[in-house]
């Protein structure tokens, strides 16, 4: 399997993502944002975390206009799998590959800590290795992770099984750290080939790091 990892000015999770993908047995290749084509025979494209363009205007707002994003959008529209993590999720929202938008965290503070997530839907390639209701412990680090979507579009998310992950405590009770609608932490598109989440599974690949729950989260994409 071959994974293309897109790098923007300000990306800082590219090597973490590369390490995680290689642990899953995937060949990886970095793609600079000024490129106009993805590597041949790419099976998965990942937009990793960081602060693309210094989060100027708002997170992901400038990165969506980078030349490589046309190729990413075309790849997704052809059914290719795309994963956006943290800033990558924000870029997917700005690119309209996923519905909704991000606002500043409700408390207006940057949040950096481990946090529990509950699997809401696993009828998709991303989370098929996990069970509905299963709880994982994954790091998060963001200042604009307050996911917003209007009521009609939110209903469509649930109708189409697009809500993937919600924030919770260790017992599975709602514990919303940033004010996201319905404590949503991750979603996918209607066709279930584009995925976005704010927490960082690539930072939870070994017990030494505090959790290896990221392995179970990612392995569905590499099967």
- Active site positions, annotated: 86, 200, 202
Would you list the DSSP string of 109-161? S-EEEEEEEEE----STTTTTS-TT-EEEEEEEESS-EEE--HHHHHHHHHTT
| Contact indicator for 124, 169 with CB cutoff of 8 Å | no
CA distances from 42 to 28, 38, 143 (A): 9, 7, 31
| Contact indicator for 157, 49 with CB cutoff of 8 Å | no
Separation between Cα atoms, residue 203 and residue 137, nearest integer Å: 11
**SS3 call for 28:** strand
Residue carrying structure tokens 């989440």: 197
- Tell me which residue of 126, 151, 115 sits closest to 24, measured CA to CA: 126
């Amino acid at each position: 399997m071959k994974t293309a990892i897109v790098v923007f000015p300000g990306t800082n999770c590219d090597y973490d993502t590369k390490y995680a993908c290689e642990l899953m047995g995937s060949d990886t290749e970095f793609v600079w944002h000024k490129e106009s084509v993805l590597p041949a025979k790419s099976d998965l494209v990942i937009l990793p975390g960081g602060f693309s363009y210094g989060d100027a205007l708002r997170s992901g707002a400038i990165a969506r206009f980078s030349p490589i994003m046309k190729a990413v959008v075309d790849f997704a529209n052809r059914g290719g799998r795309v994963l956006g993590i943290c800033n990558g999720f924000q870029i997917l929202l700005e690119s309209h590959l996923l519905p909704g938008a991000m606002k500043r965290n409700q408390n207006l503070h940057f949040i950096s800590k481990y946090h529990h997530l509950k699997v809401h839907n696993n009828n998709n390639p991303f989370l098929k290795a996990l069970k509905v209701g299963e709880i994982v412990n994954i790091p998060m680090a963001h200042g604009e992770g307050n996911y917003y979507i209007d009521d009609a579009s939110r209903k469509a998310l649930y109708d189409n099984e697009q809500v993937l992950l919600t924030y919770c405590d260790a017992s599975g009770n709602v514990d919303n750290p940033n004010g996201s609608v319905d404590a949503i932490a991750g979603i996918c598109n209607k066709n279930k080939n584009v995925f976005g989440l704010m927490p960082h599974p690539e930072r939870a690949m070994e017990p030494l790091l505090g959790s290896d729950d990221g392995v179970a989260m990612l392995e569905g994409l590499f099967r």
